[in-house]
Amino acid sequence: MTTTSRAHAPTLEAVAARAGVSRATVSRVVNGSPTVSAPIAEAVRQAITELGYVPNRAARSLASQRAQAIALIVPEDVGRFFGDLFISDVVAGIDERLEDSDYVLNLMIANHDPTGKTMRYLAGGAVDGAIVVSHHTSDKFLGRLVETLPVVFSGRSTMGDDQVNVVDVDNRHGGWLATRRLIERGCRRIGIITGPLTMQGATDRLAGWRDALDEAGLEPGPVADGDFTMVGGVRAMREILDTHGHVDGMFISSDLMASGAIPVLLSRGLRVPEDVAVVGFDDSSAATSTAVQLTTVRQPSREMGRLMAQMLFDVLDGRIASPNELILPTELVVRDSA
């Protein structure tokens, strides 16, 4: 068995000769230009396959003056990154969109304000743009980041600045949907486990909970922060039961937190939904892995990731101008818990 060295690898010219077209036409096909007719593009792709041609990414980056790389910035610790089902679904959607491009994804877990070295890397041409997932009001470096690169945020900005690119869901309406479901079931003392209130999505879901209670003329029940983690859901549910006593409904604003909270309710001899009805948020895999199948609010997390990558490509290619805000709808998914 023999192998072909890079020096003897098929060239652009060889592909052009095999397809019977010019070198420029091959280059346009390789770069995804829409100006080449479908039959000619197919002939070029067939020649590429037959010859085993691999584009020289470094040369293409030099010619286009682009790094052909995107930074995925997650301002969380490593444990949150690997354990958060929402983040993993968003990243899967980003990866799906990048599969159809020449871009690679550079992961940067920034669990505190990045160092000067990190910002120099981002500003030094190593990436063409950035996608930020799971950000907080304490992430002050984001202000510097948007002045350095084209950036798309997953979720509304926490910087009090509407001049940014955002893909999000209607979290406030989702919180209202969840709470309204509990009210319609007859619940009258409805608590909430929130995510960190340094995150806009968490505060919006809390606002939706209050909206529904106000409309129904109900007093707000107990509130506890579950940190958008399973362990946090356990801790917050115990706090509510130990400190505030009776509840007959719980809006738990992530499925992961709900997967921690429901076993606490059951361990106290409370039936779900007969004694305490529960609605989550996300419609992640956690919703169907709990002891009681979870009624929840669906947000299209994977689609959000794909749309964020597409928005960044559109900004980079000049097809749209910043700022952009795309807000996706949520919907209630009814199962056994409420």
Label residues 101-131 b or e (16+ Cβ within 10 Å = b). Answer: ebbeebebebeeebeeebeebbeeeebbbbb
Query: Which of 315, 318, 303 minimizes the C-alpha distance to 163?
Result: 315
Helix axes 85-99, 255-267, angle to 10 degrees: 150
Q: For residue 273, is the peptide bond before it cis, meaning its omega torsion is within 30 degrees of 0?
A: yes
Q: Could you tell me the pTM of the whole model?
A: 0.76
Mean pLDDT over 30-55 rounds to 81
Render pLDDT for 267-290 as a digit per residue (tens, 0 to 9). 999 999 999 999 999 998 889 988
Kindly report the backbone phi and psi dihedral angles of residue 69, in degrees, each rounded to the nearest multiple of 5, phi listed first: -140, 145
Q: What domains are defined for the chain?
A: 6-55 (1.10.260.40), 69-170+302-328 (3.40.50.2300), 171-300 (3.40.50.2300)
| Predicted confidence (pLDDT) per residue in 7-33, tens digit | 456 787 888 899 999 877 887 777 666
More confident residue, 162 or 258: 258
DSSP one-letter code for 234: H
- By percentage, how much of the chain surpasses pLDDT 70? 84
Cα(304)–Cα(311) distance, rounded to whole angstroms?
Answer: 10
